[in-house]
Structures are given as structure tokens and as C-alpha cells.
Amino acid sequence: MAVDNKVVEQVAHLARLQISADSVANYAAEMSGVLELAAQMDEVDTSSIEPMAHPTHAVQRLRDDVVDEVDKREAFQKIAPSVENGYYLVPTVIE
């Protein structure tokens, strides 16, 4: 699929990009190249290839879900500017 200057200008408008008039033709050629590459990739027979979740099939080591910090809530509540019933009070921003 060949991309012409009008398509580049429409895409630029939708993406809110300002492209100079002298570079529109260059972008059209580059976009056409990307679409041609995608078309070539569509032609490859992948029916015998097993889908992969990740290309390296690496297993991620996970740590044990164990609490390793002490509860500092009371200490933080003591130094807070304004607290009520265990909640931090903040100024009203939107009424």
C-alpha cells in the first residue's frame, strides 16, 4: 500500500503534529516502507510455529510475600499537620 501526501497530512492532523510541506513526501515514503514491511511479514507462513508468551521463555523468580517492615503509622500520624480518627486531613481543593 502506497501512502500519498494527503494521507500523511491527515495522520499528522489526527496526531496533532505539525509537519513542514517539504518533508511530507519523505514521511510518505517512510510510511509506505513500513506498510510494505508489514505486508511482507504477513506473507510468512507461521502455522508450524508455537506461540510464545515471551521470546526467551525465562521464568521470573518471585520473592516470598512476607511483610518485612514494621508498622510506622502512629509515628507518621504524630508528625502529620492534621489528623482525625486515623485519617490525614488535607485542605479542600474542589468544592
Q: Which amino acid is at 54?
A: H
Residue 58 falls inside a structural domain: no
SS3 assignment, position 28: helix
CA angle 84, 86, 91 (to 5 degrees): 45
How far is residue 6's CA from residue 54's CA, in Å, rounded to a whole number?
39
Residue 36 falls inside a structural domain: yes
In which domain, by residue range, is 17 found?
5-42
Residue 31 falls inside a structural domain: yes
Residue 80 falls inside a structural domain: no
Residue 20 falls inside a structural domain: yes
- Look up the CATH number of the domain holding residue 16: 1.10.20
How far is residue 17's CA from residue 10's CA, in Å, rounded to a whole number?
10
**Is 92's pLDDT higher than 80?**
yes
Render pLDDT for 11-60 as a digit per residue (tens, 0 to 9): 999 999 999 999 999 999 999 999 999 999 999 999 998 887 777 777 77
